[in-house]
């Protein structure tokens, strides 16, 4: 991997970074999230090695609760590391991207009107599924916007992301191509917050191309929420990698 990180100008799920030939993957995440637009750009960027997560306090309006189970009663327990993929995970498509679901780790709630998936276990596995669920929501821009409204902590970064998604909907720039979750690694974990890196893959004429991005999530009011900086950035890593070395393989294909 390269030794320098790509600068993030706004939320990792709303900025163009992932290039496949003439197709740029526009990450839309918290934290998880991708749309594809034709930009005629074939630059390539490398992801940085693991970095320390943000330490600034989240701008939540409600007091944080860092003990106990989730708001929907998921009481799974776990450690502070995760070197193997969660077991008994099912995958279902949200738009063009498959999202994970686990009876043990969530999502325990799916809003019937908006489709927003929420309520994840207070564990590393729950944090992973929350971040990956946000990424998968990018297969549907309206779903992504509603998920951002529901699961991103209040602040300028959240509003900037919502404004960007609203502009995308108005422009009709929501075309997509197949992409899938391919792996992950847990960069840090505590009961209060976690930083999760997820790798996504797409096919090109030369084989698989991998994009990795990390997201900071905070345990607040019985669920994992995304913590964005003022500029909308949400994690320490964002870029292209050559293979899955150093990552735990995980996705609709691997399980």
Predicted confidence (pLDDT) per residue in 127-148, tens digit: 999 999 999 998 888 999 999 9
- Residue 244: its pLDDT value, please? 96
- Residue 238: its pLDDT value, please? 79
- Residue 66: its pLDDT value, please? 52
User: Which residues of the chain, if any, have pLDDT below 50?
Assistant: 1-46, 48-65
Q: What is the pTM of this model?
A: 0.77
Sign of the CA dihedral running 219, 221, 222, 223? negative
Q: Count of CB atoms within 10 A of residue 49's CB?
A: 13
- Residue 178: its pLDDT value, please? 74
Distance (Å, whole) CA 195 – CA 17: 20
Q: Which residues contact 171 (CB under 8 A, 6 or more apart)?
A: none
- Residue 56: its pLDDT value, please? 35
Render pLDDT for 195-238 as a digit per residue (tens, 0 to 9): 999 999 988 877 889 999 999 999 999 999 999 888 777 778 77
Eight-class DSSP state of 16? E
Q: Report in angstroms the alpha-carbon separations of 183 from 58, 105, 249, 253.
A: 27, 18, 4, 10
For 104-162, the three-class secondary structure string (H helix, E strand, C coil) is CCECCEECCCCCCEECCCCCHHHHHHHHHHHHHHCCCHHHHHHHHHHHECCCHHHHHHH
SS3 255: coil
Q: Which residues contact 118 (CB under 8 A, 6 or more apart)?
A: 106, 107, 108, 109, 110, 111, 150, 151, 223
């Amino acid at each position: 991997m390269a030794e320098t990180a790509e600068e993030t100008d706004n939320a990792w799920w709303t900025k163009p970074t992932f290039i496949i030939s003439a197709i740029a993957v526009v990450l839309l995440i918290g934290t998880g999230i991708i749309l594809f637009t034709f930009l005629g750009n074939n630059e390539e960027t490398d992801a940085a090695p693991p970095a320390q997560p943000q330490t600034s306090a989240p701008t939540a309006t409600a007091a944080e609760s860092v003990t106990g189970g989730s708001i929907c009663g998921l009481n799974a327990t776990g450690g502070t590391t995760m070197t193997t993929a969660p077991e008994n995970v099912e995958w279902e498509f949200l738009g063009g991207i498959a999202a994970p679901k686990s009876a043990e780790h969530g999502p325990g709630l799916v809003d019937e009107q908006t489709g927003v998936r929420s309520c994840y276990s207070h564990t590393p596995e729950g944090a992973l599924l929350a971040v990956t669920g946000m990424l998968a929501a990018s297969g549907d821009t309206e779903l992504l916007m509603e998920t951002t409204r529901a699961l991103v902590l209040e602040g300028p970064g959240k509003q900037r992301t919502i404004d960007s998604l609203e502009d995308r909907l108005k422009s009709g720039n929501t075309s997509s191509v197949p992409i899938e979750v391919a792996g992950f690694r847990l960069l840090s974990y505590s009961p209060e917050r976690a930083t999760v890196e997820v790798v996504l893959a797409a096919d090109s004429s030369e084989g698989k191309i991998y994009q990795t991005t990390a997201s900071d999530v905070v345990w607040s009011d019985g669920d994992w929420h995304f913590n964005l900086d003022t500029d909308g950035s949400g994690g320490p890593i964002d870029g292209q990698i050559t293979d899955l070395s150093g990552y735990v393989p995980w996705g609709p294909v691997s399980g």
